[in-house]
Amino acid sequence: MAAEQAAGIKPGKQIGKIGKPSNAAVGLRKKSKGARRRDLAFYLMLLPGVLILVINNYLPMIGVVIPFEDYRYNVNAGFFKSLFTSRFVGFQNFQFLFKSVDCITATVNTVAYNLVFIALDLIVPIALAICMSEMWNQKKANTYQTMMFLPYFISWSAVSYVAYAFLCNAGFIDKTVLPLLGMQNIDFYTKPGYWPAIIIFFHLWHYTGYNLIIYIAAISGISNEYYEAAALDGATKWQQIRYVTLPMLKTTAIILSLLAVGRIFNGDFDLFYNVPRNIPQIYSTTSIIDTFVYNELINLGDIGMSAAAGLYQATVGCVIVFLCNFVVRKADPDSALF
Partner 1 sequence: MVNAINKKHLNVLAKSKNFEFNKVTARSNFTINLIFVLICILFLAPLILVVMVSFSSKESLDTYGYQFWPAAFDLKAYQYIFKYSYDLIHSYWNSIIVTSIGSITATSIIALYAYPLSRSNFQHRNGFAFFAFFTTIFGGGLVPWVFVYAQLLKINNSLLILIIPYLVNAWWIIIMRTFMKQSVPEDLVEAARIDGAGEFRIFFSVALPLCKAGLATIFLFCLVKFWNDYYLSLIFINDHHLYTIQYYLYSMLDNINYVLTSPNVPAEARRNLPSEGARMALAVIAVGPVVFSYPFFRKFFVKGIIVGAVKG
Where in 103-132 is the site for partner 1 (CB under 8 A)? 128, 131-132
Enumerate the β-bridge partners of residue 87. Answer: 70
188-217 binders of partner 1 (CB under 8 A): 205, 208-210, 213-214, 217
Distance of CA 326 to the CA centre of its chain: 19
As to burial, measured by CB atoms within 10 angstroms (0-12 exposed, 13-18 middle, 19+ buried), residue 137 is exposed
As to burial, measured by CB atoms within 10 angstroms (0-12 exposed, 13-18 middle, 19+ buried), residue 157 is exposed
**Candidate segments 44-52, 102-110, 187-195, 280-288, binder of partner 1 by CB under 8 A:** 44-52
In the complex, the smallest distance separating the C-beta of residue 105 from partner 1, rounded to whole angstroms, is: 19
**Between helices 303-331 and 92-99, what is the axis angle to 10°?**
80
In the complex, the smallest distance separating the C-beta of residue 134 from partner 1, rounded to whole angstroms, is: 5
231-290 binders of partner 1 (CB under 8 A): 231, 237, 252, 255-256, 259, 269-270, 274, 277
Q: Which is nearer to partner 1, 100 or 252 (CB)?
A: 252
Helices first, then strands: H and E counts in the chain: 19, 2
Q: Which of 1, 2, 16, 48 binds partner 1 (CB under 8 A)?
A: 48
73 lies in the site for partner 1, by CB under 8 A: yes
171 lies in the site for partner 1, by CB under 8 A: yes
CA–CA separation, 286 and 197 (whole Å):
11
How many residues touch partner 1 under the rule CB under 8 A: the total is: 106
Is residue 229 a contact partner of residue 219, using CB atoms and an 8 Å limit? no
Q: Which of 16, 19, 49, 301 binds partner 1 (CB under 8 A)?
A: 49
Q: Which of 86, 107, 160, 287 binds partner 1 (CB under 8 A)?
A: 160
In the complex, the smallest distance separating the C-beta of residue 197 from partner 1, rounded to whole angstroms, is: 14
Q: Please say whether the dihedral angle defined by the alpha carbons of residues 110, 112, 114 and 117, taken in this order, is positive or negative.
A: negative
15 lies in the site for partner 1, by CB under 8 A: no
